[in-house]
Amino acid sequence: MRLRWAIVAVHLSMIGATILDLALFSTVTWKALLGSHILAYAVIVLFLMPSAQRWFSKSRA
């Protein structure tokens, strides 16, 4: 379970660093925000879904 949240935190920090960089250099555009991190957004959405909890839960078999 902790691994799941660690992965989400890493992806969010990567996106946050990019947004900060874009804001500091005044180059914020929709293409810059969405284009380079579309995979990171997909990972975050997948890990926040309830079914992801089963992927990281301990096996009871």
pTM: 0.71
Question: Which residue would you say has higher pLDDT here, 61 or 32?
Answer: 32
Is the pLDDT score of 1 beyond 70?
Answer: no
pLDDT at 26: 83
pLDDT at 59: 61
Do 36 and 18 form a contact (C-beta atoms < 8 A)? yes
Tell me what the pLDDT averaged over the chain comes to: 82
Question: Which residue would you say has higher pLDDT here, 17 or 36?
Answer: 17
Burial code (b: 16+ CB inside 10 Å, e: under 16) for 14-43 equals: ebeeeeeeeeeeeeeeeeeeeeebeebeee
pLDDT at 39: 84
